[in-house]
Structure 1
Amino acid sequence: MSGNKEAVFLKQLNQNLGIAYKACRVYFHDEEVRKDAMQEMIYQLWRSFDSYGGKSKFSTWMYSVCINTAIKYKKTIAGKEKVETLSRDHLEVSTHVPDQPVQDREEAVNALYKAISTLSSLNKAIVLLYLEEMTYEEIAAIVGISKSNVSVRLVRIKRALEVKLKNDKNL
């Protein structure tokens, strides 16, 4: 095991560690499960580091590994999904109201995460990447579907989230 390889890996990992945190927040409710999933992601990143050939950005490759690890890990445990604070201006389900008190904004964001947590694993990945402002091409490459399928899914996901949020307000 080369010391240089390890140094390169650690540098890249530290620069992009937020990716693993976000994937954990999207897929797991329980904090202990998130910590375990994070360890598994780091292990899988290290284990597959030799396969990263620099054909894409490190962050794109890391998203792919982290999302796939989260999905596989989720299948092996009974943990529940949890999401916390995502936002993107282009998401029609807006949680940002300028004069809204902080507590109300937090409740709106939590409601959005709750709605996202009901999505399928693939749709959660698509939303996470979309909220990270990745292009449709980048999302398609990471999740393994076509660019047009990403577009269609995002339209359906947005509609589904709008309905879920509207229904939650009516309860």
Structure 2
Amino acid sequence: MGDRTTLTHIGSSGSAHMVDVGGKEVTVRLARAEGRVTMTAQSLETILAGDAKKGDVLGTARIAGIMAAKKTSELIPLCHPLLIDKVTLDIEPDSALPGLRVTAEVRVSGKTGVEMEALTAVSVACLTIYDMAKAIDRTMNIGDIRLVEKSGGRSGDFRRGAD
């Protein structure tokens, strides 16, 4: 799994730097992240009915999340720009929350992982949902944004356990 006692983006003098991935092998890497936006049941109904004043909340959030994954290296310092093979962003209603569950899956054939791209996609999709629906519900809550799984690369695979 590699040494987990040191930070890879901090040099010996304590200064931040971009990790050199030049010597790494190109492998298929995948990451999946999730998050959620909780809201009132009435707000969820309004969004699902397509009655939000700003338009198609789910479609716009899906596009925003995909675009964000592609722009991650411009948003997060020290991330490598990647030629992403695929981004999938799903938004599912959950009446038990009530709210929306957002899941992103990102895949690349490259020398570094796509965890940050998946997390960024989920974060921006959740923010877009909030922005588009804040006129109907300012009590919405964005939360539980986390990496669910990753595969490929030297550090091996990761899958979050049930929690």
TM-score by length of 2: 0.27
Structure with the higher fraction of residues in helix conformation: 1
Q: Which has the higher relative contact order, 1 or 2, with Cα contacts under 8 A spaced 6 or more apart?
A: 2
TM-score by length of 1: 0.26
Structure with the higher fraction of residues in strand conformation: 2
